Amino acid sequence: MKAETTRRAIMAGLAAAPVAGLPAIAGVVAEADPIFAAIEKHQRAYAAFNQSEEGPDQDTACSVYFDANIDLYSTKPTTPAGAAKFLRFIADFLDEDDTVNDNWVGDLIGDAIRNAIAVFEREARR
C-alpha cells in the first residue's frame, strides 16, 4: 500500500516532531540563546559545590559556583524560550531561598528579571 502525502498526514507528523526540530524543518537555524549555557554552567557548578568536601576542594568549588552565579544573573536571554526558562529558574531560586537578599546575586535579581521580560516585550511589539 502506497503511503499518501496529505495535509492531514503532514500536520500529524509536525505535531509529533519535537519543538526544537521545527526550525530545522523550516530550513532555518535556531538562534542560540546564551542563557541556556549559563544555566547549565550554574547547575554543574552547584552540583560540584554540593559534592565537595570541606577544605581546599570546597573553596575552589565555592569560587567556581560564585562565578557561575554572577555569570548567570548577568546574562541576558535573547529568545522567548530562553527568557521563559530564565524566569522559571529565578522563580525556583526565590522559592528555595525565600529572599532576594542573597549575598551573591541579590543586587542582580531585579535586572535579571527585567532582561527576561524585555525579550517578551520585544516579541509582543512585532
Angle formed by the axes of helices 80-97 and 109-124, nearest 10°: 150
pLDDT tens for the chain, residues 1 to 126:
444 444 444 434 434 344 444 444 444 445 699 999 999 999 999 999 999 999 999 999 999 999 999 999 999 999 999 999 999 888 888 777 565 555 667 778 788 888 899 888 888 777
Residue 75, CA distances (Å) to 8, 22, 54 in order: 42, 26, 30
Predicted pLDDT of residue 31: 65
Give the Cα separation of 61 and 75 in Å (integer). Answer: 21
Predicted pLDDT of residue 125: 79
